[in-house]
Amino acid sequence: MTNQNVSGLLYSQVGYDIGEPKRAIVRGHSINFLTEDAVLRLISNKKNEILFETDFKYWGEIWGSHWWAADFSGFEKPGNYDVNVFDGGKVIFSGEGLQIGERILWNSTWRLAAIDQLERRAVLAKAKIGWYDAGGLWQEVNTHSSTIIGLCDLMSFSGGEMNADDKSRIEKQISNGCAYLAACQDKARELGYGEGPLSHDIIGHEEHILPADTSKAVVAWAKAAKITKDKDQKKEYLRRAELSMKWLLFNAKPINSKYFSRLARGASDEYNIPDEWPTNELIMFCWGAFELTKSGLDFYDTVANFAKQIAGRQVRESEKMDGLWGHFFSFSDRTITEKAWTHNLEGGNFGCEVGATYPFFVLPLIELCREWPDHPDAKIWKNTVANFAYGFFLPTCRRNPFFLLPLGVYGKEGLLWFAGLWHGMNAVYGLAAAMALEFEKFFQDKSFHEIAVGNLQWIAGLNSGVTRESMAPDFAVITSMDIPEGTALPVSMICGVGKRWTGTWLNTRGVICNGFSTGKQFKFDVDPKKENDGPFAFTDEEWIVHPAGWLSGLSRL
């Protein structure tokens, strides 16, 4: 664990929406850092007048630091404010640029994340279609599918907020992404892999055929078919998606033995890896088959079969781990549990971890309950969602002061957020917000709303803060900041957006970087243990998967 003798005032660097939760957090190095008299003050930056004051409440200790939270949700006056923490008769922290307004998160970010950065990355795409992907010249097919899904969510949930030109530009990017998926599918066929699968990319990794790539493409094409107004295009998307779905059902085999990251999944060296689909893949299969069935193709029984397998792998209340249940075992042997994020390419190995970026994603089961309420298994689906939402999702997000979704349960080590990551996982927090908002609607329970806002605001700046150590060149390879010794500074991780924001490898406005982790980017150099857990490293590679997750959460908010 790195030195945590740091402190700071943490607040959103993008802003707070009127009508939404508003919190500021203090990070301190000892339990006595703040007294019970400490208050947060919002101050007019023109008249230096205190406009609002509220108490801090001690949250507790985690990640080697102590945390206090102040809720100022009651202050709804739009404006740009100075802020300070007053304790012991003096100001111990001060800041500026705290914004409150109507739909600030939406207005400040959606067009940059959905249109501007993708149009720019399309120009840089080596394949001449699709997008420049991350820090290198790769164009991974799984990232394109995730981006298409994020754009389709944006159109489905917030299309009414856009003008005709914006919609047209988004539709063009969806078409661009789908054209790249088609090129990867065609390349796999040309190489002799048959009809349906997709090459991992077409600029250097054509020979890698990963079922996880193909399953995401099914969902992306099926969702894009609903968005496009072109009948021929719709027909073509569904044709290709059906080919991919049939390949998954009748020809694809699990590739766990090819490459399985024991560290990322919390598996011991002695663990005998089952030759079956991991649960995160069953969820993608179920999702894709369901989207195709809604589009008129007959995968009805296939959907129900996958849903039954998923439900059968859920951790029962009698099997509680660290007091938690409702999450999922990775395999039917009920030994190791699923993690929110296992994506990695350690040593250049292409296996079942590549593109594993959807965190415990039970939203397809919610859709099943809504669309097929009279199905014989509908009660099982609803119970599975409820067990996950209330047995795992809600309590784990409340086990940290930011309401952040964790990485997962690692055996005796218990719940971890950062230790064991290959790099940060900011996409997870956008998708966690999407799940929280769907849970809120599904269960008519506002308890989930603060979870959604907390996960989005983590990216927007209400996070643990960057420190001089976390921005060391071993971690933040390209980005640098001047940070006083012992200080934690809140940062927006959306490049170019917010009062204080972090750069990324290309400094593309609207793109989101990997975010907080524990060790070097692209290295497994920190074991997943509680003693190592915390946001101790800042990883600055930009990646199109992260704004895709942001759009899925933001569009629902």
Q: Which of 404, 378, 410 is nearest to 526 (CA)?
A: 410
**Region label for 496, one of left (φ > 0), alpha (ψ between -120 and 50) or beta (otherwise):** left
Instruction: Please state the length of the chain.
Output: 557
DSSP labels, 74-116: T----EEEEEEEEETTEEEEEEEEEEEETTHHHHHHHHIIIII
Predicted confidence band of residue 2 (pLDDT cuts 50, 70, 90): low
What Å distances lie between residue 427 and 424, 437, 442, 446, CA to CA? Answer: 9, 16, 23, 23
User: Model confidence over 448-485: pLDDT tens digits?
Assistant: 999 999 999 999 999 999 999 999 999 999 999 999 99
**What are 337's strand-pairing partners?**
329
Mean pLDDT to the nearest integer, 157-162? 94
Two structure tokens written together for 234: 């719709």
Two structure tokens written together for 273: 């890896």
Residues 6+ apart with CB under 8 A from 275: 254, 256, 257
**For position 158, what pLDDT does the model report?**
95
Q: Which helix (H) or strand (E) holds 540?
A: strand 537-542
How far is it, in rounded angstroms, from Cα 155 to Cα 153?
A: 5
How far is it, in rounded angstroms, from Cα 36 to Cα 56?
A: 8
Mean pLDDT to the nearest integer, 267-291? 97
User: Model confidence over 190-221: pLDDT tens digits?
Assistant: 999 999 999 999 998 999 999 999 999 999 99
Q: Which of 464, 408, 407, 403 is nearest to 437 (CA)?
A: 403
What Å distances lie between residue 441 and 22, 154, 225, 557, CA to CA? Answer: 21, 18, 25, 11
Mean pLDDT to the nearest integer, 21-26? 98
How far is it, in rounded angstroms, from Cα 155 to Cα 160?
A: 8
What Å distances lie between residue 475 and 479, 491, 520, 522, CA to CA? Answer: 9, 16, 5, 10
Q: Which helix (H) or strand (E) holds 139?
A: none
Alpha-helix residue ranges (DSSP H) falling in 362-448: 363-371, 378-388, 394-397, 426-443
**For position 138, what pLDDT does the model report?**
86
**For position 46, what pLDDT does the model report?**
86
Two structure tokens written together for 96: 């500026």
pLDDT exceeds 80 at position 27: yes
Mean pLDDT to the nearest integer, 348-375? 95
Specify whether the CB–CB gap between 25 and 8 falls below 8 A: no
What Å distances lie between residue 231 and 153, 173, 237, CA to CA? Answer: 20, 17, 10
pLDDT exceeds 60 at position 153: yes
pLDDT exceeds 90 at position 258: no
**Region label for 89, one of left (φ > 0), alpha (ψ between -120 and 50) or beta (otherwise):** left
- Percent of the chain exceeding pLDDT 70 equals 99
Query: Beta strand 408-409 with 16-17: parallel, antiparallel or unpaired?
Result: unpaired
User: Model confidence over 290-339: pLDDT tens digits?
Assistant: 999 999 999 999 999 999 999 999 999 999 999 999 999 999 999 999 99
Question: Could you tell me how far CA 16 lies from the centroid of its own chain?
Answer: 20
What rounded mean pLDDT belongs to the chain?
96
User: Model confidence over 381-399: pLDDT tens digits?
Assistant: 999 999 999 999 999 999 9
Residues 6+ apart with CB under 8 A from 203: 126, 127, 137, 138, 139
Specify whether the CB–CB gap between 416 and 530 falls below 8 A: yes
Domains and CATH numbers, the chain: 19-101 (2.60.40.10), 104-462+540-556 (1.50.10.10)
Specify whether the CB–CB gap between 542 and 508 falls below 8 A: yes
Mean pLDDT to the nearest integer, 341-356? 91
**For position 3, what pLDDT does the model report?**
56
Specify whether the CB–CB gap between 543 and 133 falls below 8 A: yes
pLDDT exceeds 70 at position 1: no
How far is it, in rounded angstroms, from Cα 483 to Cα 471?
A: 9
